[in-house]
């Protein structure tokens, strides 16, 4: 069937509009499901009209690819645990980058890139796509704990990376002058793949949320570059939308972790100020409590805020927490959740984990919403969170975490911290919150402690 | 399409992206990432053209790889986003 290119381009425009409307839908939980469906419909439109393209003469390879890819994608989406969502997204980012890289390579070998702009675009799509592919695979392996989450590297790694990057740019320049040189093309591919590995290996597991957001951005930019190669408006528009989205999320995560992007990428840790001695901070000032005592306190409380950290999700305690919240609400207590941006392993992760446990989303408050309310809060229950509640970030200019935005739980009338021991969090610092006058420590396993409080509350 | 027209689209779309994404609340950031990831599977358009062009073995292999990867991205991305969003409920 022959359809004029104008009609195909108009269909791509419709697809792009559906993507924009889809993302707009994601600005409210109420319209989000519909937004996602609109975006999926846009993808359907774009894929179907592409099949009418005059360059497509056979369908065997297409059908085989769609069946294989569709099955793998559907199984992954059905099986993945919500706690493993960061790995899943890392992998999907990698595949997106890999697809753009393969498309640009195919265009190169078809010889369709022969003017300066399309050769540069092909080189960019190969470079960014391959970096996204191998970089995401490393991020996946670290998050899935297939390899050690600790930063890995060797002396002179930055220099090697710089050489690989500059070498890639020189290679692209060479291809502009001598289009079609396959040796140079394969060298570019190899350099980009190694660069992707070396860029992510030295980044520690705790910084992976930033890396995933950044790779998300790269996968968009790679798609956009592939669009420049093919002169396809749908790819250019959509790729840059995704590129912008990834960049914004990257900067949000960096702010929440009090790190600059350069610090994360080049593995510079904050200068350790004068190390505070844990014994000095805690000596004689830590008060411990019991589940029964906490339950008694909750009975007289009017407003309770729960502060979940990733430890809670690791203990699979989300359902237990919701049950505690339900019990309190049945007794007329107002309950809200305080979500720090880095509470999970990626932006918004904790919200998904709590939504899975059927916590209503209007109870989930982000940092800026909840912080002013702690002064009117009778009890704040901290579960598996540590560094994001450390008042040193607010008060001690010498502290390595000074300036990091935190949840001001210490302003609540009473703070209950559920924790196995007084051990330090990711930042490796003692937390003076634990020694405050209004803080009570409930030592023990998170899930068990929550269940005990709930039982005591029901009986009392 | 000439280069300047392409560049215009690219730059305007980035501004649009920034405006749109800053309005997405933190509570939806994970579905936003998986959803925008699915959208970046738009490369499937280029993949289909490469895979259907019948221009030799190497291109067929690259085209097949591109279609598989892009389809995983699209199908997996939209389905998992839908699964997550369906869990967000009000009381």
- State the CB neighbour count (10 A cutoff) for residue B60: 20
Helix and strand counts by DSSP (H, E) for chain A:
18, 6
Location of structure tokens 């790889």? B65
* Topology (CATH level 3) of domain A278-459: Rossmann fold (3.40.50)
- By the CB < 8 Å criterion, does B8 face chain A? no
Q: How far apart are CA A163 and CA A157, in angstroms?
A: 10
Looking at residue A315, its pLDDT comes to 83
Number of Cβ within 10 Å of residue A397's Cβ equals 8
* The two structure tokens encoding residue A287: 């008060």
- Does the beta-carbon distance from B26 to A351 stay under 8 Å? yes
Contact A246, A132 (CB under 8 A): no
Residue A296: count of CB within 10 angstroms of its CB: 14
DSSP one-letter code for A288? B
> A242-279 pLDDT, tens per residue?
999 999 999 988 888 888 888 877 765 544 445 567 77
Give the C-alpha separation, A396 to A410, whole Å: 15
For residue A211, report the phi and psi dihedrals to the nearest 5 degrees.
-65, -40
Distance CA A64, CA B67 (A): 9
- Binary contact (B70, A246; C-beta < 8 A): no
**Cβ proximity of B13 and B5 under 8 Å:** no
Placement of tokens 């969003």 in the chain:
B85
Cβ-Cβ pairs closer than 8 A, A with B, add up to 380
Residue A277 falls in the annotated catalytic set: no
Task: Give chain B positions within 8 Å (CB) of A232.
Answer: 45-46
* Predicted confidence (pLDDT) at residue A178 exceeds the cutoff of 50: yes
Give the mean model confidence (pLDDT) for residues A166-187: 94
Inter-chain touch B40–A223, beta carbons under 8 Å: yes
Domain boundaries of chain A, sorted by first residue = 1-79, 83-265, 278-459
The beta-carbon neighbor of A36 closest among B1, B3, B82 is: B82
Neighbours of A256 (CB within 10 A): 21
Q: What per-residue confidence (pLDDT) applies to B1?
A: 67
Q: How confident is the model at residue A53 (pLDDT cuts 50, 70, 90)?
A: confident
Nearest CA in chain B to A68: B68
Cα distances from A35 to residues A18, A20, A31, A355, A362, in angstroms, run 9, 9, 6, 18, 19
Supply the pTM of this predicted model: 0.90
Catalytic residue among A279, A292, A387, A452: A387
């Amino acid at each position: 069937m022959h359809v004029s290119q104008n009609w195909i381009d108009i269909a791509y425009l419709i697809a792009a509009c559906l993507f924009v409307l889809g993302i707009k839908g994601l600005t409210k939980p109420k319209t989000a499901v519909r937004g996602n469906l609109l975006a999926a419909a846009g993808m359907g439109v774009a894929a179907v009209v592409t099949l009418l393209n005059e360059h497509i003469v056979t369908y065997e390879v297409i059908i085989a690819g769609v069946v294989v890819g569709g099955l793998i994608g559907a199984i992954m989406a059905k099986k993945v645990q919500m706690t493993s969502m960061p790995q899943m997204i890392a992998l999907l980012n990698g595949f997106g980058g890999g697809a753009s890289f393969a498309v640009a390579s195919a265009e190169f070998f078809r010889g369709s890139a022969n003017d300066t702009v399309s050769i540069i675009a092909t080189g960019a799509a190969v470079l960014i796509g391959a970096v996204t592919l191998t970089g995401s695979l490393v991020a996946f392996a670290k998050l899935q704990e297939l390899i050690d989450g600790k930063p890995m590297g060797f002396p002179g790694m930055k220099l090697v990376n710089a050489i690989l990057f500059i070498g890639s740019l020189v290679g692209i320049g060479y291809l502009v002058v001598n289009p079609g040189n396959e040796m140079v093309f394969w060298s570019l591919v190899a350099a980009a793949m190694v660069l992707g590995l070396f860029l992510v290996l030295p980044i520690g597991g705790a910084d992976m949320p930033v890396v995933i957001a950044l790779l998300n951005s790269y996968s968009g930019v790679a798609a956009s570059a592939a669009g420049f190669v093919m002169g396809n408006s749908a790819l250019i528009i959509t790729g840059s939308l995704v590129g912008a989205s990834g960049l914004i999320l990257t900067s949000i995560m960096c702010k929440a972790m009090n790190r600059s992007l350069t610090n994360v990428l080049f593995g510079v840790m904050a200068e350790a100020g004068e190390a505070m001695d844990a014994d000095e901070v805690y000596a004689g000032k830590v008060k411990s409590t019991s589940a029964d005592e906490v339950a008694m306190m909750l009975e007289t409380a009017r407003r309770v805020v729960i502060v979940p950290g990733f430890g809670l999700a690791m203990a699979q305690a989300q359902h237990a927490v919701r049950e505690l919240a339900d019990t309190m609400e049945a007794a007329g207590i107002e309950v809200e959740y305080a979500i720090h941006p880095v509470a999970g392993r990626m932006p918004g992760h904790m919200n998904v984990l709590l939504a899975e446990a059927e916590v209503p989303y209007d109870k989930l408050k982000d940092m800026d919403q909840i912080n002013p309310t702690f002064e009117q809060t009778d009890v704040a229950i901290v579960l598996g969170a540590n560094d994001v509640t450390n008042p040193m970030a607010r008060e001690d200019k010498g502290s390595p975490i000074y300036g990091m935005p935190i949840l001001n739980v210490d302003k609540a009338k009473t703070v209950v911290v559920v924790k196995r021991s007084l051990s330090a969090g990711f930042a490796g610092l003692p937390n003076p919150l634990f020694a405050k006058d209004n803080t009570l420590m409930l030592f023990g396993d998170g899930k068990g402690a929550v269940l005990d409080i709930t039982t005591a509350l029901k009986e009392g | 399409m000439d280069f300047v027209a392409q560049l215009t689209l690219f730059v305007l779309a980035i501004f649009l992206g920034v405006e749109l994404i800053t309005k997405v609340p933190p509570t939806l950031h994970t579905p936003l990432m998986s959803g925008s990831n699915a959208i970046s599977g738009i490369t499937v358009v280029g993949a289909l053209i490469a895979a259907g062009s019948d221009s030799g073995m190497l291109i067929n292999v690259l085209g097949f790889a591109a279609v598989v990867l892009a389809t995983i991205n699209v199908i997996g991305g939209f389905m998992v986003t839908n699964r997550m969003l369906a869990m967000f409920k009000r009381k």
